[in-house]
C-alpha cells in the first residue's frame, strides 16, 4: 500500500481525503516538527496543507528540507494553499514541487492528481525493463530506510552460476528468459505471507538480484528458491545437455570447455542493530558471502550470521 504523508496541523483534510481515495493509498498525518522522522520512512508522496500550518511553519523550508534529502529527491510533493499571490506560487514551485493547488480543490479531483502522479512516478523510476523490478536507486533507499530505523532484516544477494556460458550457447534471448524465470521465483517466495508488504525484491542488473526479508524466515525462503529453481531450470536446456549435466562452449583458443548447467547462488547477511554503519558495509559483507556460495558446486545458499563488526567466526554454510 502506498503511503502519503500529509503535513498538516489539522485533521479535517485527512478524513475527507481518505474517504474518497481510489488510489489504494494510506494517508498519514504528520506535524511539521516531525519532518526529519518522516523523511526516514521515505514516503511515496508528500501533501503539504499550507493553510493547516501555524505562523511559525514555513512551507518553503519544509519543501526544501524534503528535496535536500537524497532519499526523497524524487518523492512527489503537492502543496495545497489559498495563497494566490503569483510570487508566492513561483517561490514554492522553485523548490521542485510538482503541484500547487488551491485548498478549495475538490477531494475527488485531488485524488486523481495523486493517482496520476503515482503512475508517472512508477513509470519513470529506475526499474528493470526486463523484469519490472526496482533498480539500484530504490534498492539503496530501502536499505537506508531500514538502517536508519534500526530494523532487523536479512539481505539476500542472488545471482546465477555459469550464466555467461549459457548465453554463449543458447543466445541472449534465451538468457533473458532465464533471468525473468529467476525474478519470478524470487518474487514468489519473498513477496508472500504475512510480511509481504515489508519485504522487497530488486534487480541490480543482468543475473544479479537483491531481496530484503524483514523477519527470520529467510532461510526457508532460500530453500524454496533453490528447490524450485533446480526443479524448473532444465526446461531452458535441450535434452542432450540435461542428460549429460553440462554444456560445451568453445573458448577463445578454439578449445571446447565444459560448464555445469546454470544454478543459483544466494549469499545472506543478517543485519542487526548497530552491526553496519552504512549500505556500503552491508554490500561488502554481501559480496563476500555470495562469493563463498559460488565456490560450492550447484545451487546453494550461505548465511553470514555475525552479529557485529568484530565477530569474524561462524559463517554458516547451507
DSSP for 284-298? Answer: HHHHHHHHHHHTSSS
Domains and their CATH numbers in the chain: 2-123 (3.40.50.2300), 136-317 (3.30.70.270)
What does the pLDDT read at residue 253? 79
Strand locations in 150-227, DSSP E? 153-161, 200-205, 208-213
Over the chain (318 residues), the average pLDDT of each successive run of 10 is: 85 78 78 88 91 91 92 91 96 95 91 87 73 88 90 96 94 96 96 79 95 93 97 96 92 86 97 90 95 95 75 44
What does the pLDDT read at residue 314? 43
Q: Where do runs of H (alpha helix) occur along the chain?
A: 12-20, 35-40, 59-68, 86-93, 107-124, 136-148, 163-170, 172-190, 218-232, 239-244, 279-294
3-class DSSP assignment, residue 185: helix
Q: Please state, in angstroms and rounded to a whole number, the distance separating the CA atoms of residues 133 and 110.
A: 28
**In contact, 260 and 142? CB cutoff 8 Å:** no
What does the pLDDT read at residue 194? 63
**In contact, 202 and 138? CB cutoff 8 Å:** yes
DSSP assigned state of 249: E
What does the pLDDT read at residue 252? 79
Q: What angle do CA 112, 116, 120 make, to 5 degrees?
A: 170
Tell me the backbone φ, ψ of residue 161, rounded to 5 degrees: -95, 140
CA distance readout (Å), 271 to 58, 216, 287: 38, 11, 14
Give the residue carrying C-alpha cell 534487480.
Answer: 203
What does the pLDDT read at residue 48? 95
Amino acid at each position: 500500500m502506498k503511503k502519503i504523508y500529509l503535513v498538516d496541523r489539522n485533521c479535517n483534510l485527512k478524513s475527507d481525503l481518505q474517504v474518497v481515495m481510489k488510489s489504494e493509498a494510506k494517508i498519514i498525518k504528520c506535524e511539521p516538527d516531525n519532518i526529519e522522522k518522516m523523511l526516514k520512512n521515505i514516503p511515496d508522496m508528500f501533501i503539504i496543507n499550507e493553510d493547516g500550518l501555524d505562523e511559525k511553519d514555513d512551507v518553503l523550508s519544509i519543501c526544501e528540507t524534503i528535496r535536500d534529502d537524497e532519499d526523497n529527491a524524487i518523492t512527489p510533493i503537492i502543496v495545497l494553499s489559498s495563497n494566490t499571490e503569483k510570487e508566492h506560487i513561483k517561490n514554492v514551485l522553485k523548490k521542485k514541487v510538482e503541484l500547487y493547488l488551491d485548498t478549495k480543490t475538490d477531494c475527488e479531483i485531488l485524488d486523481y492528481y495523486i493517482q496520476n502522479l503515482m503512475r508517472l512516478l512508477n513509470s519513470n523510476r529506475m526499474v528493470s525493463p526486463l523484469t519490472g523490478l526496482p533498480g539500484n536507486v530504490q534498492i539503496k533507499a530501502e536499505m537506508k530506510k531500514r538502517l536508519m530505523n534500526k530494523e532487523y532484516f536479512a539481505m539476500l544477494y542472488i545471482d546465477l552460476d555459469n550464466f555467461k556460458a549459457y548465453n554463449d550457447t543458447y543466445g541472449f534471448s534465451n538468457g533473458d528468459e532465464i533471468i525473468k524465470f529467476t525474478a519470478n521465483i524470487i518474487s514468489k517466495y519473498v513477496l508472500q505471507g504475512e510480511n509481504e508488504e515489508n519485504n522487497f525484491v530488486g534487480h541490480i542488473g543482468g543475473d544479479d538480484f537483491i531481496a530484503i526479508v524483514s523477519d527470520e524466515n529467510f532461510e526457508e525462503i532460500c530453500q524454496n528458491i533453490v528447490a524450485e529453481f533446480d526443479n524448473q531450470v532444465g526446461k531452458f536446456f535441450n535434452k542432450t545437455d540435461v542428460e549429460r549435466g553440462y554444456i560445451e562452449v568453445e573458448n577463445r583458443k578454439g578449445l571446447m570447455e565444459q560448464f555445469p548447467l546454470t544454478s543459483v547462488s544466494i549469499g545472506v547477511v543478517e543485519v542487526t542493530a548497530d552491526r553496519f554503519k552504512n549500505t556500503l558495509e552491508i554490500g561488502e559483507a554481501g559480496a563476500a558471502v555470495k562469493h563463498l556460495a559460488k565456490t560450492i558446486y550447484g545451487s546453494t545458499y550461505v548465511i553470514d550470521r555475525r552479529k557485529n563488526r568484530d565477530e569474524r567466526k561462524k559463517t554458516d554454510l547451507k
